[in-house]
Amino acid sequence: MSNNLSYPSIAKEGLPFLGAAFAISILVSFFYFELSWLFWIITIFILQFFRDPPRTIPQDKNAILSGADGKVIAIEKTDDPYYMRKSIKVSVFMNVFNVHSNKAPCQGKIIKKNYYPGKFLNAALSKASLENERCALVIERDDKKIITCVQIAGLIARRILCYKNYNELISAGERYGFIRFGSRVDLYLPVDALIKVELGQKVKNAETIIAHLN
């Protein structure tokens, strides 16, 4: 059984960038046609960066879904610094060619939201989890289990957008934010979670099951 959440094919965050790139490409094509190919390539890049394709959401109440498209770069037991507990951290790195909208890993209530200013280190580095600019949501599921989802800015990413707030409800696979131009998302899971992905695996937001809860 599955459910489809549909959003505009192009994320709203990209419309100003796409509109400007398209207009500039038209002008350059008119006045400097021999250079126009470069501007059209940039326009196409912006178009693909801000794409937000529909996803089929698994309807498994015990599943924790990926919050981002990209590659799994860390699976480790560690402390959850946002809820002060032992946990398993699963990190997904997004390069500039991945979809950059972020989706909720599970259904629940947001019991904490914290934004932290910070550095803009390469998001693939382990220390980026605690040193880079980031925004953390702590979600309490109906079964009282806690999932922490953290958007982390990267070397190129300079803007984290998060549209959910403290005390709000969130649905599994719901689009809740966006990170502009390369970044990562960390999930902190209960220590008894059964991890379903491997290091280096490519995942899709709202569609790939990261873990099952016992």
- Catalytic residue positions? 183
Q: How far apart are CA 173 and CA 60, in angstroms?
A: 12
Q: Environment class of residue 30 by beta-carbon count within 10 Å: exposed (0-12), middle (13-18) or buried (19+)? A: exposed
* Structure tokens, 99: 């979809």
In angstroms, rounded to a whole number, what is the distance separating the alpha carbons of residues 30 and 88?
55
* Encoded amino acid at 135, one letter: C
User: Could you tell me how many helices (H) and strands (E) the chain has, helices first?
Assistant: 3, 16
Give every CB contact of residue 15 below 8 A, 6+ residues apart in sequence: 50
Q: How far is residue 210 from each of residues 19, 20, 127, 132, 165, measured CA to CA in Å?
A: 35, 37, 22, 23, 24
Q: Which helix (H) or strand (E) holds 8?
A: none
